[in-house]
Structure 1
Amino acid sequence: MQKKYIVRLSEDERCELCEVIEKLKGSSQKVRRAQILLKADVEGANWTDERIAEAFGCPTKTVENIRQRLVEKGFEETLNGAPRLRPPTEKLLDGEQEARVIPLRLGPPPKGFANWSLRLLSRKVVELGIIDSISHETIRRTLKKMG
């Protein structure tokens, strides 16, 4: 099958990819993308997508996506990944709210329950008006952080 997106790397790009792989410079995703790009290079190894996918233990769609990203977005974004459009979410509970959740967890559970579950605790926090809505996962992270 004819490939729609052809990978042609310059000598500088090849050197940068080799450096990333040899020194394991960057995240594991970056190293894997570097390996895939080197093997997909028409003027280099020129492996098929199937062979690359098998060699690096990833789906062939991943290889196709990396080829496409190189052609459409450029070398830097392909290697390093796309920048986040928005930063990670801010904390849902401020210090005062956390200070009200922790004693609640340490207190006695509601009647009919032996212990506080995270879901039960999240429902109680909303019921008490500490916050409008909250997931049990946020409660878990808050309690874990507090030790």
Structure 2
Amino acid sequence: MPSQKKRPVTLTAADREELVRVTTTGVRPASMIRRARVLLALDTSQGEVDVTEVIAARLGVSGETLRLVAKRFAETGGDIWATIGRKQRAEPPVPSPVTGEVEARLIALACSTPPEGRARWSLRLLEKHVALVEDIPDLDHSTIGRVLKKRNFALI
């Protein structure tokens, strides 16, 4: 199997020193240490670099990990901290169904008088009534409870 084409990783002396410090001192996440070791192994400023399979076997990672770390290093413009750190999500994976308007409608419903035969609203009763209202998405009773708790609203 031929070796994969490697992206060049050229580190400055200060970057190398910082990466060595990350891998040898302090308490850091294992993934950060692993990516720092990959960058050190792929560094071309110290001379010729081994083939991908040899580096991957020595570090205990896959060739794909080597490729992705080198790609991320190139994409971040050589910023080692952006390369070895976690990527921050731009937004949550699933948008929340509870918007400000939904929250206001839910609180208004909880403030209204409870249905006939009930002394007060319960979370499950609110859940059933929210399902009947067309412009409010179906919400679970635990979600309703979180919204009311966030607004310091008690069902009394």
TM-score (norm 2): 0.54
- Segments ≥4 residues shifted beyond 6 Å: 87-90
> 1:57-68 maps to which residues of 2 (within 5 A)?
57-68=60-71
Q: Letter of the aligned partner of 1:79 in structure 2?
A: I
Q: Distance in 2 between matches of 1:53 and 1:89?
A: 35
RMSD: 4.5
Instruction: Judging by fraction of residues, say which structure has more helix.
Output: 1
Select the residue among 39, 42, 47 that pairs with 1:40. 42
Structure 2 gaps, min length 5: 111-120, 147-156
Establish whether residue 84 from structure 1 lines up as the match of residue 84 from structure 2. no
Helix, strand or coil: the match of 2:54?
helix
Partner of 1:115: none
Deviations 1:57-107 (CA, angstroms, capped at 9, x unpaired): 433112101112212322232122444334677765559959x79731xx8
Cα displacement (A) at 1:53: 3.0
Partner of 1:21: 23
Aligned pair count? 128
Identity across the alignment (%): 27
Helix, strand or coil: the match of 2:123?
helix
Q: Is the 8 A contact 1:36 1:63 kept in 2?
A: yes
Partner of 1:119: none
Q: Larger RCO: Structure 1 or Structure 2 (Cα < 8 Å, ≥ 6 residues apart)?
A: 2
TM-score (norm 1): 0.56
Q: Distance in 1 between matches of 2:104 and 2:57?
A: 49
Larger Rg: 2
Q: Distance in 1 between matches of 2:122 and 2:68?
A: 45
Cα displacement (A) at 1:46: 2.9
